Structure 1
């Protein structure tokens, strides 16, 4: 739970162009306002426990009557998304999973907000093998704050095979990659410290930095094919000058840490060049900035040109990894590769939050790492098929959209050509599809012209999602309807 208070000015920024092109009636205005706030709560841009602005303050800021805002808040309370107490204001809450209508042609809904593949088909075999090994680990209490020797050795061996010599004492095992980000934030960030972050970016990363009181310094990165992103970041990094953009941010802000995703960036799909990697790490070292590289997707190559080593092979960097995007998200194991002194600091800050990573899941992960080449070969073919299908379907259904041809990773960052991403996300829910709006990946409400779509779902799910997207797109004001024949090909 959060005890933060959202100012009217900040909420206005998060809302974006919520009113539409025409001047809405009072009834339409309060419904539109409530729906946009609802989306912000559901997709996490307004965190649970956050106090919303007072009705009068928000009405003044948005140029609305207080009656309109009061009606919007009342509608949110009816949906169990707000709780209001006299003297305490209106606080965001989330009663559970959103109630959704059936997806077209199905009995449930398609959740495209999670960019993660289904479990490996041989995961049950790995689990049985791990269970057979478990008795050898039952002689102590089972609390393991650093990781079993066998798994730390397997992780170190994997880094070494990828061109980065590593010893097990440089590795800490965590409860997934998100836990690793949170631990590093706790160890490195003090309240008021600056931290550089890419924008757009993985939203739970900037949330973890903010929890520790970081002041975020954004560097805008270009998507995979080099198109401009817009947004409000002060430094913009295109493919040719990405390293320089980070260097300028380091020199200006003197940050204690920087979080970035150099390979198959989530959500843009871009890969940082080797020259940019060296430039970023050189600049960070001069400034004393700790670079945290999220490499959870780094090995999910489809047909990328060139070979890229882990970021720490180019200079000092802390690495985060996991098997959530390769083996299965349900196996909650991640890790941190860092120098030994930082590993000791991480051990010191870990105990108040948790007492270690589950042993059985570590044994499963160690088994999976033994077969990682087979894992990656399977995922490569699945991602190639998913990417090619999604590109074909989107080209037919949305010829006006810009769909970059990614060469790896698990997502594509689609340009919509209009600032309607949040509206589209709301409309898609009415057709049984959950998608993450573009602003979910910004830190200031930007990226309404973009939509992140995963390429790691089955053909049936992808086809159903594109059909729902087309129906949602048509429902937006001013959008052209598709030919009936076009939609008949999407099942």
Structure 2
């Protein structure tokens, strides 16, 4: 398999503000830490070939010796493989099977916004095992998913104001898998896909993985910019747009009814397919969200993605697509090129969870409200320079730092075994280097421990910037 070459300009944008001018850490080490962070985040994919030392040094405006030392350090750690005349290729150390945290056993993950399983998950699987004998006489392949589960999903949409039938639902292996399937059916290489900016990094990865070009529409301080959305559609003629109106990841905001109506009207007028991700829809704290965006689209051109991952448990790896019957039929044909259906046991477990959701979802929302408020109190106490808004739902804060320090901060945190969600993960071409996504899904003691461990790093980093700022005045 041939390696994908990463251009020096693209790499420079991804690296963001990686240099720490006042730090005592050698420049080559700063570069090595920043590159390692890109690998661990998945923004530098495995088998990616980096630019040559001379080219990279010229682009970054540093010495070739500095670049060579940084790459040599990453080779020694097992993150790069170099061959004479072929440059350096991204790999992973033999001791690591996945690019996640730096220090096994002592690592803390502040980059993932997800919950562990509650006791209801065990109950759901016990029930699923009791039900599965009924299905064992069948072959187990079902591209659309179990009919009872599709009926339950359809009933949830109908209750929220979007009349839906079971034949308008397809069960898939998670919302990202559903997006990948939609992209395979509706797009081709080079097509543009409009997204909110910032947005969910795995959506960016899925769009780029389909050889499409994500085009961002910047989110204002509050709400959505429907005029900017209309202008972007007119200027770029995208193949489709992917949005997350229900407790948007990473900002936690929720789109109001007027904006949903406006967005649906703009998409209909420009004949742009909307793909709406409702992964966070059940995680509301102050008030439930408005009706689904598809409810404002009488022509049926909105495709809606749902997921059991955040509402119930990520280990279920189950999601669904809600669309017109014609679109579902076309997706079923396209699915033959990806997989032959979703696991039966997980479908039965998810069915039980949906049928019993009102017995545990209110308690989960109350627990998350407490964690949200505790996280805010801890950040106010230990990081008074950070600015953030209380999210209406979801699992995280979108934190604004006083300067473009996210990449440097995340790289430093990685050295002590804490993985941070730098804002650049949620942007295009290295944007949002002054933001962090801070999840509040951890238990209070674990979250406080993590924040106290990174506090000295933040104090040192933030202090090191102050002389530089004064000298620039």
User: Same fold by TM-score, threshold 0.5 exceeded?
Assistant: yes
1:135 offset after TM fit, Å?
Answer: 0.5
Q: Does 1:419 align with 2:404?
A: yes
1:479 offset after TM fit, Å?
Answer: 5.4
1-structure distance, mates of 2:144, 2:103: 44
Matches within 5 A, 1:77-226: 77-95=75-93, 96=96, 97=98, 100-101=102-103, 108-223=106-221, 226=222
- Is the 8 Å Cα contact of residues 326 and 375 (structure 1) preserved in structure 2? no
Of residues 378, 384, 393 in structure 2, which corresponds to 1:393?
378
**What corresponds to 1:485 in structure 2?**
none
- Is the 8 Å Cα contact of residues 243 and 275 (structure 1) preserved in structure 2? no
- Is the 8 Å Cα contact of residues 285 and 369 (structure 2) preserved in structure 1? yes
- Is the 8 Å Cα contact of residues 175 and 318 (structure 2) preserved in structure 1? yes
Of residues 277, 293, 309 in structure 2, which corresponds to 1:311?
293
CA 1:90–1:131: 2 relative to 1, 3 Å: same
- Is the 8 Å Cα contact of residues 143 and 342 (structure 2) preserved in structure 1? yes
**What corresponds to 1:434 in structure 2?**
419
Q: Does 1:20 align with 2:20?
A: yes
Of residues 437, 440, 448 in structure 2, which corresponds to 1:463?
448
1:108 offset after TM fit, Å?
Answer: 2.5
CA 1:480–1:381: 2 relative to 1, 3 Å: farther
Q: Which runs of 5+ in 2 are unaligned?
A: 467-473
1:167 offset after TM fit, Å?
Answer: 0.4
**What corresponds to 2:6 in structure 1?**
6
1-structure distance, mates of 2:279, 2:407: 27
Of residues 343, 346, 356 in structure 1, which corresponds to 2:341?
356
**What corresponds to 2:470 in structure 1?**
none
1:408 offset after TM fit, Å?
Answer: 1.3
2-structure distance, mates of 1:376, 1:7: 47
2-structure distance, mates of 1:341, 1:284: 19
Matches within 5 A, 1:265-414: 265-304=248-287, 307-315=289-297, 316-414=301-399
Alignment length, in residue pairs? 459
Give CA deviations for 1:76-133 in whole Å, capped at 9, x if unaligned.
111111111233321112232556458xxxx622212111111122211111111000
Give CA deviations for 1:294-349 in whole Å, capped at 9, x if unaligned.
10101211013x75011111114111001100111001110000111221221122
1:46 offset after TM fit, Å?
Answer: 1.1
The DSSP-based 3-state class of the residue aligned with 2:126 is: helix
CA 1:384–1:480: 2 relative to 1, 3 Å: farther
2-structure distance, mates of 1:253, 1:415: 29
2-structure distance, mates of 1:471, 1:289: 48
The DSSP-based 3-state class of the residue aligned with 2:463 is: coil
Using the size of structure 1 for normalisation, the TM-score is: 0.90
1-structure distance, mates of 2:101, 2:199: 28
1:161 offset after TM fit, Å?
Answer: 1.1
2-structure distance, mates of 1:397, 1:385: 18
Using the size of structure 2 for normalisation, the TM-score is: 0.93
The DSSP-based 3-state class of the residue aligned with 1:478 is: helix
2-structure distance, mates of 1:147, 1:276: 33
2-structure distance, mates of 1:201, 1:100: 25
2-structure distance, mates of 1:214, 1:189: 7
CA 1:400–1:2: 2 relative to 1, 3 Å: farther
Of residues 439, 448, 452 in structure 1, which corresponds to 2:433?
448
2-structure distance, mates of 1:376, 1:12: 44
C-alpha RMSD over aligned residues: 1.9
1-structure distance, mates of 2:229, 2:465: 41
2-structure distance, mates of 1:311, 1:262: 8
Q: Does 1:256 align with 2:270?
A: no
Give CA deviations for 1:348-398 in whole Å, capped at 9, x if unaligned.
221222121000000000000001223320221111011110001111101
1:411 offset after TM fit, Å?
Answer: 0.9
**What corresponds to 1:488 in structure 2?**
none
2-structure distance, mates of 1:472, 1:465: 12
Q: Which runs of 5+ in 1 are unaligned?
A: 227-238, 482-491
Of residues 24, 31, 34 in structure 2, which corresponds to 1:33?
31
- Is the 8 Å Cα contact of residues 162 and 294 (structure 2) preserved in structure 1? yes
The DSSP-based 3-state class of the residue aligned with 2:402 is: coil
- Is the 8 Å Cα contact of residues 112 and 433 (structure 1) preserved in structure 2? yes
